[in-house]
Copies of this chain bind each other. A is one copy, B any other.
Amino acid sequence: MNSRPRALSGFPEFLPVGRIVEQRVLDLLRHEFELHGFASLETRSVEPLSVLAGKGEIDKEVYAVRRLHADEATADELGLRYDNTVPFARYVTEFSGKLNFPFRRYQIQKVWRGERPQQGRYREFTQADIDIVGAGSLATHHDLEIPLVMLGAFARMSDELGLPPVTMHVSNRKLAEGYYRGLGITETGAVLQRIDKLDKIGPEKVAALLTDELGLAAEVADKCLALAEIRSGGVELADRVRALGVEHELLDVGLAELTEVVQTAQTYRPGRLVADLRIARGLDYYTGTVYETVLEGHPELGSICSGGRYDSLADDGKQTYPGVGISVGVSRLLGPLVADGTASASRSVPSVVLVAVTDEEQRGEALAVAAALRANDIATEVAPRADRFGKQIRYAERRGIPFVWFGTDQVKDIRSGEQVQADPTRWEPPAADRTATVKLG
């Protein structure tokens, strides 16, 4: 590298402060997931293309991977994962004999999609997923547990880091599919795909797609749109769906599932979860409850946390492994907040203390002070050069390091200028200074 390289569009990288913000959020998510008994899992980055293909709208966004000097004949067999769900389903079927079901796991990994890079869309980004899969069956109470765990994590991000509140929007594919069937529609998936465009193109254009592309009668298209308009946080959900006058067995099942999720959620996270029947999700593999999440005041971010129930994604030939899960788009959430300065950290390094070096002959003394501080779990670095003290203090200032240690027994808070005598084997920084202060809003 002997000229300055350019950024690759769609492959964002954080500066150290942004990374500290991201780490804090990932630590918080991990803590919250583990507190609920989810085991960590990482899957390999590549999957056979046959595993990645045909799972939804994003086939054409897959990145193929091959050895640079491979024969052409062996090329293109592998692709990078585009989410954490499809590889997880593969993992479950591959290792089903060695896992205990229901299996609860979280997975925080990069995923890759060859989308056209644009506002809030990346080609490489981090997703944080939780999922629960059963062997043969999985109780529906997990459809409620999953959003509650995630809403708990968001509540913690609000309380501890100042993130605005979120609202989770929930629907149910059985409800929608049953409703469409009740209307006599057979291509229910095609209808759902058009309904999914409501936010982008509005109801009139969606109606036109339903009538022109799918050949639905105008009044049938209107009925589809009427369902999508229902948004409800409580007991009137069923009444409003029933009022549309459509009947189907699958509609009843989906409506009962959705009502249970929405009503019980009010007990635990009042107001944070609403039924919203326009939610469809682009991925083919969802079969029941589906989730999307919006951050208050940030509609431009789109859904920052999405997922749903998938009853037939994983199948090892002997039985199916139905699952339900949800995924935080960590990069989608933090990328814009860090870029515009909304999210930030008080320093760019973990160090609490910089130990100054008086002259190079005394470096050993400074190393001993640093070792004593580290023995008490205080992140410490030693000045790289025995510059004059003013320059060493600026070294700390530029990085946001709050304390500079001089000699063996003097420590200065460089924010207040206060300098005190202290013993490096016993001194403790204020608890709030042990790690960087991170804010998300």
Contact = CB atoms under 8 A, between A and B. Distances in A.
A157 to B, nearest CB: 16
A398 to B, nearest CB: 5
Interface string A381-403: 10011000000000100110000
B67 A64 contact: yes
A69 B58 CA distance: 11
Interface in A90-128: 90-91, 93-96, 98-100, 102, 104-105, 110, 112, 114, 124
A416 interface: no
Interface residues of A, number: 95
Contacts of A202: none
Contacts of A377: 35
A421 to B, nearest CB: 24
Contacts of A13: 42-44, 91, 95
A141 B11 contact: no
A337 interface: no
B67 A61 contact: yes
A348 interface: yes
Interface string A32-61: 001111111111111011010000000111
Interface in A127-148: 134, 139, 141-142
21 contacts: A1-B313, A1-B314, A1-B316, A2-B316, A4-B94, A5-B90, A5-B93, A5-B94, A7-B94, A8-B44, A13-B43, A16-B99, A35-B380, A39-B349, A45-B45, A45-B110, A67-B114, A68-B76, A70-B114, A104-B349, A104-B381
